[in-house]
Amino acid sequence: MIKDQEYLSEKASYCLDLAKKLGATGSSAVVSNSVSETVNFRNRKLDESNRSDNLAISITTFIGKKKSSISSSNLLKDNLDTLIEKCVETTKNTPEDEFNSLPDKDLLAKEVKDLNLYDDTHIKNEDKIEYLKKLETSASSNKQIVNTESSFTEDRSNFILANTDGFCKGYKDSSFIASSITVAKDESSMERDYEYTSKCHLKDIKDAESLGKLAAEQTIRKLSPQKISSEKIALIFDKRIARGVLSTFASAIFSSAISRGTSFLKDKINQKIFSDEINIFDKPDILKGLGSKTFDSEGVKTETLKLVDQGILKHYLVDTYNGKKLNLRSNGRCGGTSNLYFEKGKVSYKDLLSSNSRCLYITETIGHGSNIVTGDYSVGATGFLVENGEFKFPINEITIAGNFKEMFQNITLANDLEFEYSTNSPTMMIEGMVVAGK
């Protein structure tokens, strides 16, 4: 059972009041409680079952333009007294920074929207086990599957964010996550792939048999990969991979990177960085959205941002501190994006595959090869050769490379957008990528 809002609010208020008595001119506190239950299977046998219950507090105090933070998992009164005293003393000895402050009071959220993020359904441990038995049986039904791992996790959390400007709000959320990892083997290779489902509500997750079957199929089709020669070619990114391009874009427009001058998108507001067909949204109020939120980690209200409008960059992702450095007001993105997505394109998945007589379909990238300072991109990859819209054979041991400045201009999106994650993209084609092969 997670702690209720009243309990969390009382702890936060106590900390704020004590910090003020000890000399803080402003302060904020986050008090959270999360409960997680996980069951793991390996090769159709129960491997592990565990439960965790985490209670934590994080306090930030200000004295003028001085600031410091401290956190603990011990919420007993004596520990909180010591904790806050240490935090205030540390703040007194911290150098001033002219940009330190609580968020502007008029930007704070006035209400908490009901976004249907919490499901109080509890699935018993034996029911988790039964789900995983079905999943593992489905995943291992083909003899080419030689190893399986699966898990089921049920999470619930509740939190309160409070500050000395009168803000005190929070909400509960939940998640149900099931995953399947499979390893397949034939006479020439051994390959691995996965599939998972994550939803706020239990009833919305994929059924066990479908999840296991999909993981196995995706793994088996990668068997007996071939090598290809180096060339310049169009790449089609599977939706799981395409969303990584969007994540890199988000990293490049965070105000922290912009204020430090460490992003290739610095000074690009109101400039064209994508083709005319590209629109990008960050929408925090999607019902049951995995990234949905009413306010950011500072309490600033979140509203839908059209980050890119017909290829033109319209907004950075701005928090209070870096916003002041840039002379911009926070737009509620402290702590990251919410539900970030490309607006779906106009081309069908099938037509996208057939748009070039020969292309590569990328299903996995290896390594962290995105440089947001220069825009350079280079990662290892595996996937399939596609000719005239037909998958010919799997490929591996290739490196794909480009620069996001050019890549963004050459993106074509399919119309198959689905909201499976907090960052989502349709299937994506990028023309003119460099592929290094054998």
Which tokens belong to 406? 């050019």
Q: What is the pLDDT of residues 218-271, one digit of tens each?
A: 999 999 999 999 999 999 999 999 999 999 999 999 999 999 999 999 999 999
Q: Residue 10 has what pLDDT?
A: 97
Band (419; pLDDT cuts 50, 70, 90):
very high
Q: Residue 437 has what pLDDT?
A: 85
Distance between CA atoms of residues 402 and 409, nearest Å? 12
1 has a pLDDT exceeding 90 = no
> Domains in the chain, please, with CATH?
5-220 (3.30.2290.10), 225-438 (no CATH)
Band (368; pLDDT cuts 50, 70, 90):
confident
Q: What is the pLDDT of residues 202-214, one digit of tens each?
A: 999 999 999 999 9
438 has a pLDDT exceeding 80 = no
Distance between CA atoms of residues 186 and 219, nearest Å? 11
pTM score of the predicted model: 0.95
Q: What is the pLDDT of residues 371-382, one digit of tens each?
A: 999 999 999 999
